[in-house]
Amino acid sequence: MAMSVTQTTIRLTVNGGTHDVAAAPDTALLYVLRNDLELNGPKYGCGLGECGACTVIIDGVAARSCVIPISGCVQRDILTLEGLGSRHHPDPVQAAFIQEQAAQCGYCLNGMIMTAKALLMQKPRPSETEVRQALQYNLCRCGAHIEILRAVMRAAGFAPEEDE
């Protein structure tokens, strides 16, 4: 016998806009962002909240959207990579990642940028140790860790040595 999934209309606030989404309350936020709202910044990585590719910012805190049901996102502010800046006017974190060329394949970038943004929202001038701690659970298989670290420090206002 097939199980029926009860859908309901859930109102989400994403990137400053209000969106009514018809989905089951236990649907992962990631699926709604990508499939219903066509926001492709958050990536599907592991599906277990362990790699960070799906990271968004909810009420100022970095969160793994692959394990958060949309029912838990009602009346909360969700920020995705698309809500940070544009191609012509990138957010300072995005600009720093570009300046430091902090990408190889780029799959981890959404998680790295969103985690860094959340950290800088809470602590605008973190130490290198604090940046490393904040990013420690975001996985990058390419090995762009040093460039990513430099990008976050640049976004925090610490100019790289060669710029001084």
Between CA 96 and CA 149 the distance in angstroms is: 10
Let me know whether 101 and 140 are in one domain: yes
Let me know whether 101 and 43 are in one domain: no
Whether residue 2 lies inside any domain: the answer is: no
Let me know whether 53 and 100 are in one domain: no
Residue 92's pLDDT is what? 97
| Mode of pairing for the β-strands spanning 17-23 and 8-14 | antiparallel
Let me know whether 65 and 106 are in one domain: no
Residue 163 or 152, more confident: 152
Whether residue 164 lies inside any domain: the answer is: no
Whether residue 125 lies inside any domain: the answer is: yes
Let me know whether 21 and 70 are in one domain: yes
Whether residue 155 lies inside any domain: the answer is: yes
Q: Is the pLDDT of residue 3 over 90?
A: no
> How does the average pLDDT of the chain come out, rounded?
93
Residue 141's pLDDT is what? 87
Let me know whether 106 and 133 are in one domain: yes
Instruction: State which residues form the domain around 130.
Output: 92-159
**CATH number for the domain including 74?**
3.10.20.30
Let me know whether 60 and 119 are in one domain: no
Whether residue 87 lies inside any domain: the answer is: no
Judge contact between 97 and 148, C-beta under 8 A.
yes
Q: How do residues 7-19 score in pLDDT, each as one tens digit?
A: 999 999 999 999 9
Residue 2's pLDDT is what? 55
Judge contact between 152 and 96, C-beta under 8 A.
yes
Q: Is the pLDDT of residue 122 over 90?
A: yes
- Out of 34-38, 139-143, 157-161, give the one with best mean pLDDT: 34-38
Q: For the chain, how many structural domains are there in total?
A: 2
pLDDT confidence tier of residue 77, bands split at 50, 70 and 90: very high
Q: Chain-centre distance of CA 103, in angstroms?
A: 15
Let me know whether 96 and 59 are in one domain: no
Average pLDDT on 122-151 reads 94
Whether residue 22 lies inside any domain: the answer is: yes
pLDDT confidence tier of residue 143, bands split at 50, 70 and 90: confident
Between CA 159 and CA 164 the distance in angstroms is: 7
pLDDT above 70: percentage of residues in the chain = 95
Residue 50's pLDDT is what? 94
Q: Is the pLDDT of residue 30 over 90?
A: yes
**CATH number for the domain including 130?**
1.10.150.120
Q: Which residues contact 129 (CB under 8 A, 6 or more apart)?
A: none
